[in-house]
Amino acid sequence: MSFPENFVWGAAAASYQIEGNTGEGTGVTSIWDEFCRQPDIIFDKSSGAVACDHFHRYADDVQLMVALGLKAYRLSFSWARIMPDGENVSEPGMAFYDKLIDELLAGHITPYVTLYHWDMPHALQLKGGYLNREIVRYFEKYVEAVAKRFSQRVKHWVTVNEPINYICCGYWTGSHAPGWKLPIRDVLHGWHHALLCHGAAVKILRRYGDAGTQIGAAITGWGYIPADENNSADIEAARRKNFECEKFRSIAGWADPMIFGAYPDSWYKFWGKDTPKVDPADMKMIAQKLDYFGTNIYFAHTCRATGDGRMELVNPPINTPRSAANWPITPAAMRWLPTFYFERYKLPVIILENGICDAEFPDREGRVHDACRVNHMHLYLGELRKAIESGVDIRGYFHWSLLDNFEWIEGYTRRFGLIHVDHKTQKRTPKDSAQVYREIIRSNGAIVAGESGMAGERGA
């Protein structure tokens, strides 16, 4: 069975992870450039200063996308490249994205542009970053500049990517840029300011867009699926668990303000006196109209009802397969999570990221066999098709990622790409999974395997 007509098949990447041409000597310094300079932060002591050198190789990379048959490509604009000082537009930065967008359109590939994928100008971090409410004004200037320049060519926008991660990991645990470890009260103010940036961005994009403009955000959290899919109590337990606020793990703490204009009650209950005072005008700004619910899905935790109205987490079975990143492989996440999100938020769903980290490398003939990724693709897409068959309005799927790239604090030690990159020579080698994905796109998902996933070996 094929996927719906006009289903969007894409792949994704992020500016700091692939572009390179950052850091000293380029006029571009983001919070990740600075973070990578700290000793013993990045696992292999690397950085995104060169990454996949996409800044210079973008035209060839777009031709690889064309060969893949991609219908869409999710990229991100680097705020630091476009406004290195946080105030003034860099024409060379803008010109790079001009050329990239034109190249995509010439290849009949629809650009989906993410406005913030974690690379804030370092100059703005020195002013407090998301702790400073003025960050909203700076973000507005940036968004207005890109909307004015690109809105006639770019119709699909993602305002922010995984705010749960850049606020939690950046300001609380310190494991991501800028690497701060702050009291929770300060972090929650950053949370609120990040949401205000999202709302301000939507408002500006609407002003410069037209009837064809589509806007969403890439929202993620800890997902939960039922232990017994035939047990209504387990299903309800998982549904409730997905929208409870517990630390930074909840989807609802981000999506509810964006869509309903209010933080969920459980957000106030969990954080108590540390929650910031919320102005109703702020919530009105945050809750701008969205066209779709964007989400990144990799795995989920399993949840079951206990019989007393409560729920408990279930440890994965001993033989649960895991990726090279030690993430459990839970294909059912791709059916249940979009179902729960669609039920609650009543918006079409787009999977903006999904993929697997593996440890493959070229064989003696230079080929890259990644059977795990091939099977993962079939298993997850098979579950996504079940969600669609059950009535969930799912409009698209973006594989993470197009290229093996700089994987944040893991450096170059983790590979998610459909295309292998030798980071010494920058040689690109499409993997077996790239060929399989091309056939999936060509058939509009008709060749996606069943529950066993074994049909994935057809293209391996």
* Catalytically annotated residues: 162, 353
Is there a contact between 252 and 164 (Cβ–Cβ < 8 Å)?
A: no
In the block, residue with structure tokens 């998902």: 445
Rounded Cα distance, 83 and 147, in Å: 14
Retrieve residue 95's tokens.
């010109």
Retrieve residue 138's tokens.
């700076």
Amino acid at 71: K
In the block, residue with structure tokens 């994965």: 316
Rounded Cα distance, 162 and 160, in Å: 7
DSSP label of 346:
-
Number of helices (H), then strands (E), belonging to the chain: the values are: 16, 13
In the block, residue with structure tokens 């697997």: 356
Is there a contact between 384 and 351 (Cβ–Cβ < 8 Å)?
A: yes
CA distances 231 to 187, 312, 317, Å, are 38, 14, 19
- Residue 11's SS3 state is strand
The string of DSSP codes covering 247-295 is TT--SHHHHHHHHHSS--HHHHHHHGGGSPP--HHHHHHH----S-EEE
Is there a contact between 384 and 350 (Cβ–Cβ < 8 Å)?
A: no
Retrieve residue 371's tokens.
């059977």
Rounded Cα distance, 3 and 378, in Å: 13
- Closest listed residue to residue 338, CA positions, set 379, 280, 396: 396
DSSP label of 458:
G
